[in-house]
Chains A and B, each alone.
Chain A
Amino acid sequence: MNRTDIGPPDYREMLPDAIKMNYGKWKYHEKVRAGVLRHVSETGDEIYTVRVGSPRLVSIDFIRDLCDIADKYCDGHLRFTSRSNVEFITDNKSNVNGIIEEAAKLGLPAGGTGNSISNIIHTQGWIHCHSAATDASGLVKAIMDEMYEYFTSMKLPAFVRIAVACCINMCGAVHCSDLAIVGVHRKPPKVDNEKVLAQCEIPTTIQSCPTGAIRRNPDPNIKSVVVREDLCMYCANCFTVCPAMPLADAEGDGVAIYVGGKVSNARKPPMFSRMVVPFLPNTPPRWTEVVDVLKNIVEIYAGNAKKYERMGEWIERIGWEKFFRLTEIPFTDQHIDDFTHAVETYRTTTQFKW
């Protein structure tokens, strides 16, 4: 029988007993070491959570491996985190080392807790997306290989959230991350007139452009559109509604780097990440130039920020002008906003540093 709208499994059937018994009764927690949390309940019960990294793009055999560990140590339960880490929860302290060792045998490091660099939120990239301007999984692997020591330790001033989006649609909502890497196009769409006729609705395509760069083709015999290239900022919104306008281009595509966003309300309110590098070319498989810029920013932040200060809080305190000086990243006209909320970013005081 065809069943529909049954919804997801009831979460209550997915909880281990130790959680069921203390649901809503937790009193406090502490970080025992990188990757290990201890939660204590009002009832006196305690549980240990071992958090390990994951590549996120995984095979079913990988999931079965995780299940083997959970069956052995965790009452047949496990959970994933909002950053794609895997968590093994046990009420038996003596299981902790066993879980860490078995995860290590699978190549999965314990970490991602406290003042660390946890796993990277990311999108599909060249593994599955039609609008990707860069890869995601490979870029993430290249970055995490270099940031590995920060995943397995808690030595940064505060945690640093990294996110990768393979185009500016930003499926991963990367725009409020301490470090965000975003795939960008730099060439206008190439209009395929025959395909426009077959696959696209012309008024919708014209309306999709936020800068009004798309017009009807002036030749009445051609039922298609033209793009005013000087107005195009390569957002690809037209491509989303009309497949006949692809922007992907090996030379034009690459990544931009944004810095200093946060979503937590702790201390300063949530803030957007800001552009610091407008473009770097795609250099698979290791994106060495991109990784070097990120590593440099993290090291300068780690050496200069106050304890508990997030990347964006540190930069706001010292000023962006000083951030560019310390990191030696060149400031260009591309850094100056000219889109919808631009003037809010122009300086209206004589207070600044040299």
Chain B
Amino acid sequence: MDEDTPLLDELEKGPWPSYVKEIKRMAKKNKAAKDLLGIQELSYKDRVTHWKHGGIVGVKGYGSGVIGRYCDVPEKFPDAAAFHTMRINHPAGWFYSTKSLRQLCDIWEQYGSGMTNMHGSTGDAILLGTTTDNLQPCFDSLTEAGFDLGGSGSALRTIAGCVGQARCEWSNFDTLKLVYDLTMEFQDEIHRPRWPYKFKIKASGCPNDCVAAIARADFTIIGTWRDTLRIDQNAVRNYVDNGFDIKKLVVDRCPSEALEWDEKNRELKLQSDDCVRCMHCINKMTKAIRPGVEGGATILIGGKAPIIKGAYLSWVLVPFMKIEPPYDEIKDLLHKIWDWWDENGRTRERLAELIERIGLKNFLKEVGIPPVPQMVYKPRANPYVYF
């Protein structure tokens, strides 16, 4: 094999840490990583991918968690001819002990290319590149060490959430606890694809939505509160005394004009009824303003990327729900949605596309949720109503 990689060598330069250096580091001791480098260089030369459509490979008893991958020039790169990915379900919040991370590394040193993504965009730790023969022994070692595979294909995908109450004062419910609980409850749905297409659940603790739940999750859980902002007026005055332009940077930016700065009494006044809980004032005055204490979440549905009928942002389904163990309300709702989608969805039809085809009204009837104005920006303008 030709070991010159002049095009990739360019990407070792520059200040940002280089993935090419990482592949080269592994290539010194692992043949599959060495061939991966060669395949990448060939793609840079040819300007096309050199990976073929996946095949059906996996581990005993599962239909997901492994992405089959084959190189289209196996004669040149025999050690990466089969280069399958294993998706490892991450611990909620992506926290690790170094002990568990080192175990993961040792297993992947033994069975794979030694290359990983920490992490893939769905949330899994991605172990990149192994042979068909190594899949089962690698999986057995992984479960021995306490790890399991995540979702792939037409299954429930690995559930992810933001850091939540572990290290954030804004989280309106315990995202990590919920993510872990749902993940354990739905192991079967994650590991055995059975639906029209993929289904994603993401949980963010507040409307800042650090895991982009609204853009990509069919079932979106975003923390919010039922009562009012907590404002520490002394801390507010501190900001103002230190030159913070509260009128221009906070009051004037409030989207619902719910705030007012009373210069005379040096007090930030809130018209609580008008607050839409957008987070702007909280984000900019972290020491003075906090979410309310009556925490829970808004449940939204249908978020997805463009394939097939265009992208959707999730729609409000339940304006407010308490999010507490054992999470029966969420689980019941999920089962109702899955049953309806499974019954009515076409192949590769995501939830939002099905709802658009059949109508939100019919969907609400099926899942037994009454219509409320919070679900829409505005009512219909046309007269074509089914009575």
Chains A and B belong together in one complex: yes
Which positions in A face B, CB cutoff 8 Å?
2-11, 13-16, 19, 23-24, 26-30, 39, 47, 49, 53-64, 66-67, 70-71, 76-82, 84, 86, 89, 106-109, 121-132, 135, 137-138, 141-142, 144-145, 148, 151, 165, 168-176, 204, 207-208, 210, 235, 237, 239-241, 243, 248-250, 253, 261, 263-268, 270, 272, 282, 284-286, 307-308, 339-341
- CB pairs A–B below 8 angstroms (13 shown): A2-B61, A6-B148, A11-B166, A30-B287, A58-B19, A60-B26, A77-B96, A107-B21, A130-B54, A145-B13, A169-B305, A235-B308, A239-B53
Are B48 and A208 in contact (CB-based, < 8 A)?
Answer: no
Closest to A37 in B: B167
**Chain A residue at smallest Cβ distance from B216:** A173
Sample of 7 more A-B contacts, CB < 8 Å, known A59-B33, A131-B49, A138-B8: A3-B140, A9-B100, A29-B169, A59-B114, A80-B118, A130-B53, A243-B53
Instruction: Give bound CA distance, A195 to B306, whole Å.
Output: 28
Question: Are A175 and B306 in contact (CB-based, < 8 A)?
Answer: yes
* The 8 nearest A-B residue pairs measured at CB: A145-B14, A243-B53, A173-B216, A265-B207, A126-B43, A144-B16, A170-B305, A26-B169
Question: B59-72 toward A: CB 8 Å interface, digit per residue (1/0)?
Answer: 01110000001000
B25-76 interface with A by 8 A CB criterion: 25-26, 33, 36, 39-40, 43-44, 46-54, 60-62, 69
- Find out whether the CB atom of A135 lies under 8 angstroms from the CB atom of B44: yes
Give, as a whole number of angstroms, the nearest-CB distance from A284 to chain B.
Answer: 4
Given contacts A64-B102, A175-B215, A241-B348, contact A26 B119 (CB under 8 A): no
A285 to B13, CA, bound (A): 11
Given contacts A2-B61, A82-B210, A128-B69, contact A7 B183 (CB under 8 A): yes
When the two chains form their complex, are residues A340 and B309 in contact, meaning their CB atoms are under 8 A apart? yes
Query: Restricting to B140-170, which residues have a CB under 8 Å from any CB of A?
Result: 140, 143-144, 146-148, 150, 160, 162-163, 165-169
> Would B212 and A176 count as touching, CB distance under 8 A?
yes
Contacts of B216 in A (CB 8 A): 173
CB distance from B268 to the nearest CB of A (A): 16
Closest to A77 in B: B97
Question: In the complex, what residues of A have CB within 8 A of residue B329's CB?
Answer: none
A56 to B128, CA, bound (A): 12
Cβ of B301 within 8 Å of any chain A Cβ, yes or no, is no
Structural contact, A59 and B25, CB atoms closer than 8 A? yes
B93 contacts the other chain (CB 8 A): yes
B191 at the A interface (CB under 8 A): yes
The reply to whether the CB of B359 lies closer than 8 angstroms to some CB of chain A is: no
A137 vs B248: C-alpha distance when bound (angstroms): 40
Q: Are A24 and B165 in contact (CB under 8 A)?
A: yes
B49 touches A130 (CB 8 A): yes
> Looking at the complex, which of B258-266, B277-285, B331-339, B365-373 is the stretch in contact with chain A?
B277-285
Q: Is the C-beta of B381 less than 8 angstroms from some C-beta in chain A?
A: no
Contact of A285 among B44, B93, B187 (CB under 8 A): B44
Q: Across the interface, which residues of B come within 8 angstroms of A250, CB to CB? A: 46-48
Pairwise interchain contact A11-B215, C-beta atoms closer than 8 A: no
B101 interface neighbour in A16, A57, A63, Cβ under 8 Å: A63
Q: A7-B148, A24-B165 are in contact. Are A67 and B347 (CB under 8 A)?
A: no
| Complex partner residue of B166 from A23, A66, A171, CB under 8 angstroms | A23
Does B343 make an interface contact (CB < 8 A)? no
Cross-chain contact B143 with A60 (CB below 8 angstroms): no
| Max chain B Cβ within 10 angstroms of own Cβ: one of A8, A15, A47, A82 | A8
Q: Does B135 contact A (CB under 8 A)?
A: no
Q: B116 contacts A59, CB within 8 Å? A: yes
B255 smallest CB distance to A (angstroms): 5
Binding site for A on B (CB under 8 A): 7-8, 10-11, 13-23, 25-26, 33, 36, 39-40, 43-44, 46-54, 60-62, 69, 83, 85, 88-102, 104-105, 108-109, 114-119, 121-122, 128-129, 140, 143-144, 146-148, 150, 160, 162-163, 165-169, 174, 176, 179-180, 183-184, 187-188, 191, 207-216, 222, 249, 253, 255, 277-280, 283-284, 286-287, 290, 304-311, 313, 346-348
Least CB distance from A310 to B in Å reads 11
Q: Which residues of A contact B108 (CB under 8 A)?
A: 60
Task: Given A30-B286, A264-B207, answer yes or no on A248-B49 (Cβ-Cβ < 8 Å).
Answer: yes
Smallest CB separation, A126 vs chain B (Å): 4
Determine the distance from Cα of A79 to Cα of B129 in the docked complex, in whole angstroms: 24
Cβ contact within 8 Å between B25 and A61: yes
Q: Which residues of A contact B286 (CB under 8 A)?
A: 28-30
Q: Is the CB of B98 within 8 A of A76?
A: yes
Complex partner residue of B117 from A57, A107, A141, A339, CB under 8 angstroms: A57
Q: Which of A47, A62, A241 has the most CB of B within 10 A?
A: A62
Chain A residues with CB under 8 Å of B146's CB are 6, 9
| Closest CB in chain B relative to A115 CB, distance in Å | 11
Contact A285 B8 (CB under 8 A): yes
Q: Give the Cβ gap from B198 to chain A, nearest Cβ, in Å.
A: 10
Shortest Cβ distance from B208 into A: residue: A264
Question: With A47-B167, A145-B15 in contact, do A5 and B97 touch (Cβ < 8 Å)?
Answer: no
How far, in angstroms, from A56 to B162 measured CA to CA in the complex? Answer: 18
Q: How far does the alpha carbon of A173 sit from the alpha carbon of B7 in the complex, in Å?
A: 29
A104: min CB distance to chain B, Å? 11
CA distance A49 to B168 in the complex (A): 12
A55 to B90 CA separation, bound complex (whole angstroms): 18
Q: Which residues of A contact B115 (CB under 8 A)?
A: 57-60
A64 touches B105 (CB 8 A): yes
Pairwise interchain contact B61-A11, C-beta atoms closer than 8 A: no
Nearest B residue to A62, CB-CB:
B22
Q: Is B94 in contact with A79, judged by CB distance below 8 angstroms?
A: yes
A14 in contact with B148 (CB, 8 Å): no
CA distance A79 to B83 in the complex (A): 27
Distance between B173 CB and nearest chain A CB, rounded to angstroms = 10
Known: A59-B23, A122-B121, A264-B208. A128 touches B176 (CB 8 A): no
Q: Give chain A residues whose Cβ lies under 8 Å from the Cβ of B121.
A: 121-123, 171-173
